Amino acid sequence: MIRRCKENPILLPVRENSWEAYATFNPSVILRAGRYYMLYRAISSSDLLKKQGSSFSSIGVAVSRDGVHFMGRRCLIYPEMIWERFGCEDPRTTYVEGKYYIFYTAISTLPPKPEGIRVGVAVSRDLEKIEGKYLVTPFNAKAMALFPKRISGKLTAVLTVHTDKPPAHICIAQLSDDPSVWYTEMEEWYRQYMDWALSPDPRRSPRDHIEVGAPPIEVEEGWLLIYSYIQNYFSESGRIFGVEALLLDKDDPRKVIAKTQYPFMVPEEVYEVYGHVPRVIFPSSALKRKGWIRLYYGAADTVCCLATVRLSHLRRILKGGLKSVFKRYAKNPIIMPDKRFGWRSLATFNPAAIELEGSIYILFRALSHDKTSTIGLAVTDDGFTVKEVLDEPVYVPREPFEMKVAPGHSGCEDPRVVRVGDRLYMFYTAYDNVNPPKVAVTSITVDDFLSRNWKWSSPKIVSPPGVDDKDACILPEPVNGKYFYIHRVGGVNIAYDYVDSPEAFDPSTLVSHVLLAPRAGMWDGKKVGLAAPPIKTEKGWLMLYHGVSHDNFYHVGAALLNLQQPERVMARTTTTLLSPEASYEREGYVRNVVFPCGAVVRGDRIFLYYGAADTYVCVATATINEIFAEL
């Protein structure tokens, strides 16, 4: 869904140009007559007398034919008026009826104070010369932009009120045709500005902050507003800058029709993480081109960057339009707790799955009332209808590292099963309720398994000593003579190691490099872990994984690993493939959980077996191509 430009950053500071020597960011790009004009905030080198602090901001302009390579940089708007004397920042440009309206943040106090941070506008017919500059807001505001066409016959703008005096509100304002009187009009408008605030408020928490990003884009359903959403704004160390979207009513843009539930972009690349202000991405411009959105943004308050966003996917993730790629079986759950059997009386969940001789065998975690986990077995032929559930567990705790030491959870949890040759290797979490959980592995021949002759090998610990480790398996075939071992070390990241054999390796030798990390603020922002064992495809190893959001919802996404170098992640889903939506996923022993441990491929169709709310076993299906479309 998100593709960052390979040539990012597309605009960097130029040391030889004093007016833009320190930073060039927050670009506003407009396409006219086959050329892309980028207006951007430029921060100068320091003034030696410190009359403007350490430096000052002006607005530069550059031109491009492809929207990536910009040339001919020059300063277009610079501090002249008393109300902007300490800086002109963050332009938003809209072309309406033969004129360019360039709104920008005007700084009139040093150090900047809320009352001295307001909105100005510059008007131009050709982006070569500024015809007039006007102060627009008599109150603290930022990020104002015109809609590209009149609404109800009037010029209409969107702006952030009280940006520097939170709580901030994104509001709509309607203006006359004369910019010289907008200041007076906004004085009157401000008396009842909350009547013009977006409704409902896009913020998910009073701890969060919002700001207008790119000028609105007209789409079939209404007005698309891509904006900045900052989680935990009042905690400087915990702030998470993300990019989100709103869909506004076409006739009354105060009405929010739909909104994203999580950011679809957060700081990840080096140029977004390190800079003048670390870990910042700020969407300041967007263009609609052939089914894609070109999103121009500032990174780390230092450079200008470009990403493309698929419009169809953006529509899909707007709240109300979010649909899981995986389709749930209508008769879910397929396995439920049964009080007749004490070992699975409390919960049955988190299933592994393997297909053998035309049947799918589901090895599920079962929980007794004393919270001991064992592994049960169910069988289905069509992938949906369970024809048999064995009366007794097929695997139980046997070793001290998985036996209950104190009251509470213990046992053999969350299995993943991989076939290598004529043996099935089951990786599971071994837990004694005192020491950190660790990965254990056992194996059984295929013949013994099918004969229900439960001759499992003695389990071995395959986790690094003294660390929390879960969610593990190997790839079913060697890579360059070794086996690729996936596990979750430390409870946060998906890690990998290369080992000599499926079970005969020394855990003390593991290095555990990061394979996949959480993306702060997104649906997988808190922690990630392997779901089912990866599936081999022509394009790579398809690795399904679970991600936990900061509001403790468990979701399912995917990553594509290189066939020859599986440590190389080639693609990753921006959005979820399955999220807790059904009642049996939202309510149970642990709320809001979908947790897969097994998948079976039949043709191009994936049968995904997952635990729902740590209570039930469920199944959902998707084609491989449907998942590739999300990668």
Which CATH number belongs to the domain containing residue 603 in this structure?
Answer: 2.115.10.20
Number of domains in the chain: 2
The 8 Å CB, 24+ separation contacts for 101-106 are 101/146, 101/179, 102/28, 102/39, 102/59, 102/77, 103/136, 103/143, 103/144, 103/145, 103/146, 103/157, 103/159, 104/59, 104/77, 105/142, 105/143, 106/81, 106/135
Same domain, 168 and 209: yes
Same domain, 337 and 288: no
Please report whether residue 361 resides in a domain: yes
Whole-number Å distance between alpha carbons of 57 and 26: 12
Whole-number Å distance between alpha carbons of 179 and 124: 12
> Which residue ranges of the chain lie beneath pLDDT 70?
47-54, 319-323
Which pLDDT score, from 0 to 100, does residue 1 have? 77
Q: Are 364 and 400 in contact (CB under 8 A)?
A: no
Same domain, 352 and 499: yes
Same domain, 290 and 350: no
Q: Which two tokens stand for residue 610?
A: 């997952």
Same domain, 372 and 313: no
Which pLDDT score, from 0 to 100, does residue 237 have? 81
Same domain, 223 and 369: no
pTM passes above 0.85 = yes
Token match 């979820």: residue? 576
pLDDT one-digit tens code per residue, 357-378: 999 999 999 999 999 999 999 9
Please report whether residue 465 resides in a domain: yes
Which pLDDT score, from 0 to 100, does residue 46 have? 78
Cβ burial of 624 (10 Å; 0-12, 13-18, 19+) is: middle
DSSP at 180: G
Same domain, 249 and 394: no
Same domain, 185 and 80: yes
Q: Which of 294, 317, 340 is the last residue of a domain?
A: 317
Which three-class secondary structure state does DSSP give residue 81?
A: coil
Same domain, 535 and 624: yes
Residue 153 one-letter amino acid: G
Which three-class secondary structure state does DSSP give residue 114?
A: helix
Please report whether residue 186 resides in a domain: yes
Residue 252 one-letter amino acid: D
Which three-class secondary structure state does DSSP give residue 314?
A: helix
Same domain, 403 and 513: yes
∠ CA 441-443-448, rounded to 5°: 160
CA distances (Å), origin 458, targets 375, 416, 440, 455: 15, 17, 10, 9
Residue 338 structural domain = 327-628
Which pLDDT score, from 0 to 100, does residue 49 have? 61
Q: Which of 602, 4, 627 is nearest to 271 (CA)?
A: 4
Which pLDDT score, from 0 to 100, does residue 121 have? 98
Q: Which of 257, 289, 317 is the last residue of a domain?
A: 317
CA distances (Å), origin 449, targets 373, 416, 473, 489, 609: 20, 15, 19, 30, 20
Same domain, 425 and 517: yes
Please report whether residue 322 resides in a domain: no
Token match 């007016």: residue? 19
How many Cα atoms occupy the beta-carbon half-sphere of 460 within 13 Å? 13
Same domain, 312 and 341: no
Please report whether residue 55 resides in a domain: yes
Q: Where are the beta strands (DSSP E) in 505-628?
A: 513-516, 527-530, 535-537, 540-548, 554-561, 569-572, 594-602, 605-612, 616-623
CA 574 to chain centre: 5
Q: Which of 317, 343, 362 is the last residue of a domain?
A: 317
